[in-house]
Amino acid sequence: MAKVKLDGVRKVYPNGVEAVEPCHVDIPDGELVVLVGPSGCGKSTLLRMVAGLEEITDGTLHIGDTVMNDVEPANRNIAMVFQNYALYPHMTVAKNMGYGLKNRGLPKTEIAQKVAEAAKMLNLEDYLNRRPSQLSGGQRQRVAMGRAIVRSPELFLFDEPLSNLDAKLRNQMRIEIRALQQRLGVTAMYVTHDQVEAMTLADRIIVLNAGRIEQIGTPAEIYSQPASTFVASFMGAPPMNIFTGTSDGQQATLDGGLSLNGAGAPSQTGKIQIGIRPEDVALDPSGPLPFEVDIVEELGAHRLLHGQLSGQPFSVSLNKDEPASTGPTKIALKPGAVHFFDAEAGRRL
Amino acid sequence: MADITESRIAAQSTAHPAKRIKWEAVGDHAILIAGALLMLVPVYMIFASSSWNDITLHREGLQFGFSDDMANNYNAALFEYGGFTDSVNGVTMLANSLILGIGFAIGKIIVGMMAAYAIVYFRLRFATLAFWMIFTTLLLPLEVRILPSYEVITWMNLGNTYTGLIVPLIASATATFFFRQFFMSVPEELIEAARIDGAGPVKFFIDILVPLSQTMIAAMFIIMFVFGWNQYLWPTLITTDESLFTLVRGIRQIMQAYSDGSTTPEYGEAAALAIIAMTPPVLVVVFFQSWFVKGLTESDK
Ligand SMILES: Nc1ncnc2c1ncn2[C@@H]1O[C@H](COP(=O)(O)OP(=O)(O)O)[C@@H](O)[C@H]1O
Ligand SMILES: [Mg+2]
């Protein structure tokens, strides 16, 4: 088990693409960090640099107390789980799990024992002599996890390990991964583009956008104090409503003329962006803000109202037992509902 | 395209109520049967003829029926020593042909796999150039470069050796090409997983790539074995020592007696030898057929 430290780590591909801008990350021992961001933002590149599968252009990488920049992947004491499982198709489950240990020169009996232990942990005992092609997707993913576990690594790396599974299995495996990681206490980096997966799994989340780290924080921090409009709209479903508006230092006003009384205002004056989460709003016939509902969307546990606030698109999420209908209504904001961002870069104010 | 689909639909809709004869199918089968006969009748005739004595064959040509000299002819073909030096019989030639076919196939597979491995997995300078240079040798089979090859082999004193017989034939790119295509379809993740598992280049090749290529290797083996077995020009040129003669070469040797005008050529024996020469490739294809098809079509990786 080890802490991980990225110091100005950067990646420029030979074709000149800067996939990861210099970034600083500190991961304490035993923490599960989720790298999340849209497709192509550099998550995999960052993870693969830690794995040693991709060369680090600049900066230093520590795993434990060792600089790992030029260490072969096999000697970094890591284990990686890939999106497409990457199991060896011609080897049995047991051989797949034991291959790394065999290459390390461990005696056969010890390998067999470790494989048996991992198989027990993952409910794979009945499948040890099967080939990967004779397993279901979920079982293959378990084998891939087993291959990672038997090596007793200091660091787990996951690159979208659940994206090939159906929704139900994904939820189940997510819980299993979390439980396993906590039981073993191994530091882990987990890449996903799914913000729900990120929120539920992570001790801390790193939000990446176009090769840049937008924010690092606990799920609660990311959700309640998004560092930018990008984070605000990427994390959370449905996404945060972002309005354009102005501030005079005392009070914020949405373009369209509606003033947000009592919501406070940033000290910066002039043009700003204003964010309100759909779930931080309550329908209130005596509320201060007129809301024109155009569409009601039923989601079972929730109900989404889409409409106009001060002439700008606005969505509200309500509990299923609150009545809702189209047409004009009034809303009130819950305390702390309003977030302010600057107009150009979208940084939090 | 359009009328094919239409006629298919028409065939389907009419087929069910009354089982009418599908003339298309009859036509297709007629063509297939004609083609099959065209291929099989000569083989049958040789087989039938291999049961006749030389005199009849000389006088009346190839035969359709069977006679009673079959045992004689095959015995002579296999065990009777012939040639100018009386140093070669059918069994020796069979062995030589097997050595050529198997040696060629194995050599080609090994060289091809290793070349493809280097080209696909290592960042070499000019790797693409190297590949295309290897690829152009597809256009230069041994027959095209036969004189320089002959020069080189005799200069190296490899005339009348198995090495001289096999090695120059190996120098061509078919296997390299097929293995390259195959290796490029092996998922990147698998290679990376192996790297993390501590498999270096040699281990990866032996533990992962070779087992994955099993069916491909089998398919290559069949193609190359038959190709090597059927070689005629090069063995004729490079082996003058009769104990190194291959079967394909030996058939001609028997027929040659005719042009020498000395005795009646041993037609029956020649026919028997032709059948013997055909058998191993047929057996290889029959036994490896399922692998062969799998190797060329399957992509279960
Ligand atoms: N081998 C490569 N060569 C050049 N550019 C690459 C390579 N791999 C990825 N990229 C580019 O780097 C960026 C980040 O890719 P990646 O890390 O795979 O994104 P993610 O995993 O977040 O979807 C993308 O713009 C991608 O096109
Ligand atoms: Mg990725």
Residue minimizing CA distance to atom 26 of ligand 1: A40
Provide the pLDDT for residue B2: 43
Q: Is residue A349 part of a domain?
A: no
Between the CA of B155 and the centroid of ligand 1 the distance, in Å, is 55
pTM: 0.81
Between the CA of A190 and the centroid of ligand 2 the distance, in Å, is 11
Place of tokens 């056969």: A108
Q: Which ligand is nearest to the CA of A41?
A: 1
Q: Is residue A348 part of a domain?
A: no
Q: Are residues A158 and A212 in the same domain?
A: yes
- Model confidence at B259: pLDDT above 70: no
The pLDDT of A132-157, averaged and rounded, is 91
Q: Are residues A217 and A244 in the same domain?
A: no
The pLDDT of B111-130, averaged and rounded, is 86
Residue that terminates a domain, selected from A229, A248, A278: A229
Q: Are residues A52 and A138 in the same domain?
A: yes
Contact A112, A65 (CB under 8 A): no
The pLDDT of B100-113, averaged and rounded, is 94
User: Mind listing the pLDDT tens digit for each residue in A327-345?
Assistant: 899 999 888 889 999 998 8
Structural domains of chain B sorted by starting position, each given as residue range(s) with its CATH number in brackets: 90-297 (1.10.3720.10)
Q: What is the mean pLDDT of chain A?
A: 91
Report the nearest atom of ligand 1 relative to the CA of A42.
Answer: 17
Between the CA of B105 and the centroid of ligand 2 the distance, in Å, is 42
The pLDDT of A25-30, averaged and rounded, is 94
- Model confidence at B133: pLDDT above 60: yes
Q: Is residue A347 part of a domain?
A: no
Q: Are residues A75 and A197 in the same domain?
A: yes
Contact A341, A347 (CB under 8 A): yes
Q: Are residues A121 and A186 in the same domain?
A: yes
Q: Is A78 on the interface with B (CB under 8 A)?
A: yes
Q: Are residues A157 and A269 in the same domain?
A: no
B234 backbone dihedrals φ, ψ, rounded to 5° = -65, -50
Q: Are residues A224 and A312 in the same domain?
A: no
Residue that terminates a domain, selected from A171, A196, A229: A229
CB contact under 8 A, A74 and B195: yes
Q: Residue A84: list chain B partners with CB under 8 A.
A: 187, 189
Please give the DSSP secondary-structure letter assigned to residue B1: -
For position A300, which CATH number holds? 2.40.50.140
Provide the pLDDT for residue B74: 86
Q: Is A71 on the interface with B (CB under 8 A)?
A: no
Residue A92: left (phi > 0), alpha (psi -120 to 50), or beta? beta
Contact A231, A238 (CB under 8 A): no
- Model confidence at B3: pLDDT above 60: no
User: Mind listing the pLDDT tens digit for each residue in A179-224?
Assistant: 989 999 999 999 999 999 999 999 999 999 999 999 999 999 999 9
Residue that terminates a domain, selected from A204, A229, A254: A229
The pLDDT of A64-92, averaged and rounded, is 92
- Model confidence at B76: pLDDT above 50: yes
Q: Is residue A166 part of a domain?
A: yes
Provide the pLDDT for residue B107: 95
CB contact under 8 A, B211 and A53: no
Residues above pLDDT 90, as percent of chain A = 68
Interface list for A 208-267 with B (CB within 8 A):
none
User: Mind listing the pLDDT tens digit for each residue in B136-191?
Assistant: 877 777 788 888 889 999 999 888 899 998 998 887 788 888 899 999 999 989 99
Indicate if the alpha-carbon torsion angle B81, B87, B91, B94 is positive or negative. negative
Q: How many domains does chain A have?
A: 2
Q: Is residue A168 part of a domain?
A: yes
Q: Is B192 on the interface with A (CB under 8 A)?
A: yes
**Distance, CA of B173 to CA of A225 (rounded, Å):** 62
- In this structure, are strands A204-209 and A32-36 parallel, antiparallel, or unpaired? parallel
**In a mutational test of the pocket of ligand 1, which residue from A9, A10, A11, A17 has the highest number of ligand atoms less than 8 Å from its CB?**
A17
User: Mind listing the pLDDT tens digit for each residue in A39-55?
Assistant: 999 999 999 999 999 99
Provide the pLDDT for residue A5: 94
| Other residues' Cβ atoms within 10 Å of the Cβ of residue A107 | 10
CB pairs < 8 Å spanning A and B: 58
- Model confidence at B4: pLDDT above 50: no
Q: Is residue A31 part of a domain?
A: yes
User: Mind listing the pLDDT tens digit for each residue in B180-227?
Assistant: 999 999 998 999 999 999 998 999 999 999 999 988 898 889 889 999
A74 → closest Cβ in B196, B207, B208? B196
Cβ density class A217-250: b for 16+ within 10 Å, e for less: bebeebbeebbbbbbbbbbbebbbbbbebbbeee
Q: Are residues A264 and A336 in the same domain?
A: yes
CB contact under 8 A, B195 and A79: no
Lowest-pLDDT range, A146-155, A312-321, B75-84, B179-188? B75-84
- Model confidence at B263: pLDDT above 70: no
Q: Is A80 on the interface with B (CB under 8 A)?
A: yes
Ligand 1 environment, Cβ below 6 A: A 13, 15, 17, 19, 37, 39-45
Residues near A172 by beta carbon (within 8 Å), at least 6 away in sequence: A138
For position A9, which CATH number holds? 3.40.50.300
The domain of A274 spans: 238-342
Q: Is B190 on the interface with A (CB under 8 A)?
A: yes
Residue minimizing CA distance to atom 1 of ligand 1: A13
DSSP per residue, B172-220: SSHHHHHHHHHHHTS-HHHHHHHHHTT--HHHIIIIIIHHHTHHHHHHH
Q: Is residue A118 part of a domain?
A: yes
Report the nearest atom of ligand 1 relative to the CA of A11.
Answer: 12
**Distance, CA of A149 to CA of A100 (rounded, Å):** 11
- Model confidence at A92: pLDDT above 80: yes
Provide the pLDDT for residue B85: 64
Q: Please choose, from the candidates B117, B280, B132, B134, the residue with its C-alpha nearest in 3D space to the C-alpha of residue B203.
A: B117
Provide the pLDDT for residue B15: 45
Q: Are residues A194 and A293 in the same domain?
A: no
A100 → closest Cβ in B189, B192, B197? B197
Q: Are residues A186 and A282 in the same domain?
A: no
User: Mind listing the pLDDT tens digit for each residue in A262-287?
Assistant: 778 888 888 999 999 999 998 888 88
**Distance, CA of A333 to CA of A305 (rounded, Å):** 15
| Other residues' Cβ atoms within 10 Å of the Cβ of residue A204 | 18
Q: How confident is the model at residue B17 (pLDDT cuts 50, 70, 90)?
A: low
Q: Please choose, from the candidates A41, A57, A47, A38, the residue with its C-alpha nearest in 3D space to the C-alpha of residue A4.
A: A47
Q: Are residues A271 and A293 in the same domain?
A: yes
Q: Is residue A159 part of a domain?
A: yes
Q: Are residues A144 and A269 in the same domain?
A: no
**Distance, CA of A54 to CA of A69 (rounded, Å):** 10
